[in-house]
Amino acid sequence: MRRIPALLLTLLLLSSLAACGGHAPTAPENDGPSQPESPDQAKVPEEPEMPEPEPYVIYDPTVLPEGGVRDGVTYTAWDGIVEHLFFHPVVAYPELAFDGDRQSDGIDDYMVTVDEYNKILQSVYDKGYILVDIGDVWSEVTGEDGQPKMVRNTLYIPEGKKPLIFSYDDTNYYPYMLENGFTYKLIIGEDGKIWSWGKDPAGNEVTSRDLDAIPILDKFVEEHPDFSPFGAKGSLSLTGYCGILGYRTMTEKEDQSAEHEAKRQKEREAVKPIIAELKRTGWTFGSHTWGHINLAKKSLEVVQADTQKWLDEVGSLVGPTTILYYPHGARPDGDDVRQTGPIFQYLQSQGFRVFASVGIESYSSIKKDICAVICDRLHPDGTTLRGSDKVLSWYEQFYDARDIIDLDVRPQREVRWTPKH
């Protein structure tokens, strides 16, 4: 396996998966003819037993409510930093994730468990953060020179609160995750809401709203509506090579048969109501490239072909997006801060405006020479939860990592902070 600098926050386990198909384990929905008790039966919203969805209101945070007050809450202008935390899918079953196989350390490095995620949500809520969508933070306008440019929006948020973006990388439900303690896919439950479906360590089918980062946040916002005064949830950063959201909607070089295409079209139809319900309830989507490719290293031709594939197979389902999340945190052309190289220019020409990497703070900078914004995100995960006192301080505005990390279930590996007294 190639060696990759740790700071690039590479998901080694993801990058080592060249293709989704072949001999990789496949999702249960691909196992053969569908069975009557399959969750597939429960996710078509037209079914008669499906209740009317609860109304869900989404507000624009760039507009001050009439009189500056909504629902008895006073809104004030915010031009300060908009913090940004990103997660990978969360570990539902630590005993499968941390069983000592070759994925254990990678999962320990780059993921948090359900319990840790719950504690992080509670902590950022307690510390006065409220969710905003990344798509509302910047806008494209026409400059005095007639050229389009990005501007930072003034947000109008509840007095005393601080805005926070959540994004979730690789919410594709890759085959390796299915055997390593993650949920298998999103479905629509009998209540019309987003649930996860998967299998517990004993192999029993489990439908739940408590085991997957997405329904967990939905539930948290239901219980704490003031955590999301605009209805925003998170931005889902999707690749395409294993399909999306647990549905195998991808083309495969190795299998161009009519059977595969028919199966793929079925998966595309099956994921549409999930996407619609996510969008209706405040979730948005961004690209993580089709093949999880390294934008610092690939040629322009490779990036062009990959982008086209993403637009064809993922964009065609989730709709247009201006957000691009760099796989491995790797910056196009090797540097997007001091230069605007041919790959960055190409990606911008395809509609991307917000280019997100990974860093030690919620840095952002509006590009002067092209209509685009670059930004960094912080990453709650094993690497930072185990981090030094310095790392602890980067996150202390959100939580104290020593209160979050669950050393009882994680592998026996080093922690680098000073214990609490």
Binder to Zn ion among 108, 109, 133, 169 (CB under 5 A)? 169
Nearer of residues 169 and 381 to Zn ion, judged by Cβ = 169
Q: Which stretch binds Zn ion (CB under 5 A): 116-124, 136-144, 166-174, 352-360?
A: 166-174
Closest distance to Zn ion from the beta carbon of 174 (Å): 10
Measure the CA–CA gap between 282 and 133, rounded to whole angstroms. Answer: 8
Using DSSP's 3-state secondary structure scheme, residue 131 falls into: strand
CB within 8 Å of 346: residues ≥ 6 apart: 300, 303, 304, 307
Stretch that binds Zn ion, among 110-118, 120-128, 163-171, 373-381 (CB under 5 A): 163-171
Where does this chain touch Zn ion (CB under 5 A) — which range of 122-130, 143-151, 277-285, 320-328? 320-328
Establish if 306 lies at the interface with Zn ion (CB under 5 A).
no
- Reading the block at residue 325, the tokens are 């999340």
Q: Which stretch binds Zn ion (CB under 5 A): 134-142, 164-172, 299-307, 311-319?
A: 164-172
Given the complex with Zn ion, which of 328 and 367 has the nearer CB atom? 328
CB 170 to Zn ion: min, Å:
4
Choice between 169 and 333, CB closer to Zn ion: 169
Take residue 6 and report the two structure tokens written for it: 């740790």
Closest-CA residue to 172 (of 114, 108, 248) = 248
Which segment (116-124, 303-311, 324-332, 357-365) binds Zn ion by CB under 5 A?
Answer: 324-332
Instruction: Give the position of tokens 């161009």.
Output: 256
Nearest residue to 99 (alpha-carbon basis) of 415, 413, 405, 410: 410
Q: With CB under 5 A, what is the number of residues at the site for Zn ion?
A: 3
In whole angstroms, how close is the CB of 245 to Zn ion at the nearest point?
15
Distance between CA 192 and CA 78 in Å, rounded? 35
Q: Which CB sits closer to Zn ion, 111 or 150? A: 111
Secondary structure (DSSP) of 172-233: T--HHHHTTT---EEEE-TTSSEEEEEE-TT--EEEESSSSHHHHHHHHHHH-GGG-TT---
Q: Which of 214, 217, 208, 204 is nearest to 244 (CA)?
A: 214
Tell me which of 29, 109, 170, 306 binds Zn ion, using CB under 5 A. 170
The residue among 377 and 410 lying less far from Zn ion, judged by its C-beta, is 377
User: Which positions lie near Zn ion, rule CB under 5 A?
Assistant: 169-170, 327
